């Protein structure tokens, strides 16, 4: 039996806004959109994707799951993401870590790592 990662599902209060934020972050596109679901990805046949679904309440605590992004230039990417609407957040990471913790416009944390080329860097 084979299994592949299909998509990450994200609860969102403003689906179009959050989906478009992540499209800008990842240079992806909206692949499917209805009132109750927006799917974004690099291309229709490029897995995984992200699916945004509606939720009524605000996020109230730290995510138990988050996305790690690895750029070519960490400092430049952090500045670009902040300009897109991300914000810096403190989740207890300390001052001496090699990653930067940000949150998207709805408060979902994600990390911008230093450049990496393998999962074992």
Sequence spans of domains, the chain: 1-55, 63-121
Quote the CA–CA distance of 76 and 78 in Å, as a whole number: 6
Q: Is 105 helix (H, G, I), strand (E, B) or coil?
A: coil
CATH code of the domain made up of 1-55: 3.10.180.10
User: Edge-to-edge, what's the strand order for the sheet holding 7-12?
Assistant: 7-12, 49-54, 37-41, 29-34
Q: What is the pLDDT of residues 18-55, one digit of tens each?
A: 999 999 999 999 999 999 999 999 999 999 999 999 99
**Global pTM?**
0.91
Query: Which CATH number is associated with domain 63-121?
Result: 3.10.180.10
Q: What percent of the chain has pLDDT over 90?
A: 83
């Amino acid at each position: 039996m084979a299994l592949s990662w299909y998509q990450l599902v994200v609860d969102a209060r403003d689906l179009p806004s959050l989906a478009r934020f992540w499209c800008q972050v990842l240079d992806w596109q909206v692949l499917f959109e209805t009132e109750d679901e927006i799917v974004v990805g690099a291309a229709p046949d490029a897995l995984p994707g992200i699916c945004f679904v509606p939720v009524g309440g605000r996020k109230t605590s730290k995510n138990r799951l988050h996305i790690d992004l690895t750029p070519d230039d960490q400092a430049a990417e952090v500045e670009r993401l902040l300009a897109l609407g991300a914000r810096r957040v403190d989740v207890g990471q300390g001052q001496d870590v090699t990653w930067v913790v940000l949150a998207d416009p709805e408060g979902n944390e994600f990390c911008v790592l230093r450049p990496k080329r393998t999962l074992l860097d």
